[in-house]
Amino acid sequence: MSNIRLTYFDFDGGRGEPIRLALSIAGIEFEDRRITFKDFPSLLSTFPLGCIPILEMDGETWTQCNALLRYFGKKAGLYPEDPWQAYLCDEILDIMEDVSDAIGKTFGLEGEALKQGREAVAAGMFSKALSLLDKRLQAAGGEYFADKQLSIADLKVFEWARMLGAGFLDHVPTDLVQQVAPAINEHMQRIADEPGVKAYYEKRA
Ligand SMILES: N[C@@H](CCC(=O)N[C@@H](CS)C(=O)NCC(=O)O)C(=O)O
């Protein structure tokens, strides 16, 4: 019986999914608590900062997706030891936080406001981030973002690109990644074939 419980929304993406993936690759058992968007408001007061993911472990509740991802990423051998390579990995994680913040502002919008908001994010922050990610990937050798091997930066970008392609976000073109950053599209397909990633999704299916 695991003493780790991760709480996040019930979809395979966002800030929670890379942590699920890192836990799985590290071989750490955890309870995957998934909550619906509908139930979120009634549970809000139980989250220390009113947001998720949260992770319960050893009788305490822990927050901050990137800190959690780094912690379990280190256990999984998915975080560089070299300080510069670690920076390259961290920069990507924080770019993805800016991306999450930008799209987060569109949740709750409806109708034309949602459409306009989403289109602005797609043409703005999403496209800017994709261009920068593309540039960083090429500079790192084209295969992985840091250390010439799989790291949590690859997992984080992979989850986002995968979610965009799946059409999870209304009004964001599903071919945005292909259009703006072909190298990130190829990266997504390659990371999907990494043994630990493949094993996780085979188990989920
Ligand atoms: N700094 C936090 C941000 C977490 C966050 O904003 N989570 C979103 C979901 S991806 C959330 O709970 N949003 C609902 C809200 O803030 O009301 C982290 O890194 O974990």
Spatial distance between the Cα atoms of 191 and 85, rounded to a whole number of angstroms: 19
Domain end: 43, 77, 111, which one?
A: 77
Q: Which amino acid appears at position 40 of this protein?
A: F
115 plus 183 within the same structural domain: yes
Whether the pLDDT of residue 1 is over 60: the answer is: no
18 plus 71 within the same structural domain: yes
Provide the residue range defining the domain that includes 11.
4-77
| Minimum-distance ligand 1 atom for the alpha carbon of 67 | 19
Q: What CATH number is given to the structural domain containing 67? A: 3.40.30.10
Domain end: 21, 51, 77, which one?
A: 77
What would the pLDDT profile of 128-174 be if each residue is shown by its tens digit?
A: 999 999 999 999 999 999 999 999 999 999 999 999 999 999 999 99
Domain end: 35, 54, 77, which one?
A: 77
| Minimum-distance ligand 1 atom for the alpha carbon of 66 | 19
Pairing of strands 54-57, 4-9: antiparallel
Spatial distance between the Cα atoms of 163 and 86, rounded to a whole number of angstroms: 25
State mean pLDDT over 45-65: 97
Whether the pLDDT of residue 2 is over 90: the answer is: no
Place of tokens 């997504």: 188
Q: What CATH number is given to the structural domain containing 99? A: 1.20.1050.10
Decide: 188 in ligand 1 pocket, CB within 6 A: no
Q: What DSSP string describes 95-149?
A: HHHHHHHHHHTTTT--HHHHHHHHHHHIIIIIHHHHHHHHHHHHHTTSS-SBTTB
Pairing of strands 31-35, 60-62: unpaired
pLDDT at res. 84: 98
What would the pLDDT profile of 63-122 be if each residue is shown by its tens digit?
A: 999 999 999 999 999 999 999 999 999 999 999 999 999 999 999 999 999 999 999 999
What is the distance in A from the centroid of ligand 1 to the CA of 45? Answer: 14
CA separation, residue 96 to residues 111, 144, 175 (Å): 26, 16, 18
Asked whether residue 166 is domain-assigned, the answer is yes
| Minimum-distance ligand 1 atom for the alpha carbon of 53 | 20
Instruction: Please provide the average confidence, as pLDDT, over all residues in the chain.
Output: 97
Q: How many domains does the chain have?
A: 2
| Minimum-distance ligand 1 atom for the alpha carbon of 100 | 10
89 plus 42 within the same structural domain: no
In sequence order, the 6+-apart residues with CB closer than 8 A to the CB of 97 are 65, 66
Mutate to test the pocket of ligand 1, among 15, 94, 168 (most ligand atoms within 8 A of CB): 15
pLDDT at res. 190: 97
89 plus 146 within the same structural domain: yes
Decide: 15 in ligand 1 pocket, CB within 6 A: yes
Decide: 51 in ligand 1 pocket, CB within 6 A: yes
